[in-house]
């Protein structure tokens, strides 16, 4: 069983360890959870 600190190959990426944080969001989508211009600006930053 691999350790949390063993490297991980994920497609073309080689991660130095297996601890990964999911992307955070600020819920800028409009009704129906449809992405809008404000959401685009947030992720461009």
- Predicted local confidence at residue 19, as pLDDT: 93
3 state SS for 12-31: CEEECCCCCCCCCCCCCCEH
Helix, strand, coil percentages (3-state) for the chain, rounded to 5, are 25, 20, 60
Q: Are 7 and 14 in contact (CB under 8 A)?
A: yes
* Residue 4, token pair as written in the block: 């949390």
- Predicted local confidence at residue 32, as pLDDT: 82
- Predicted local confidence at residue 7, as pLDDT: 96
Mean pLDDT by 10-residue block, N- to C-terminus, for the chain (45 residues)? 92 94 76 83 82
């Amino acid at each position: 069983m691999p350790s949390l600190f063993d490297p991980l190959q994920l497609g073309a990426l080689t991660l130095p360890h297996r601890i990964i944080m999911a992307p955070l969001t600020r819920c800028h989508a409009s009704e129906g959870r449809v992405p809008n211009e404000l959401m685009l600006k947030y992720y461009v930053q």
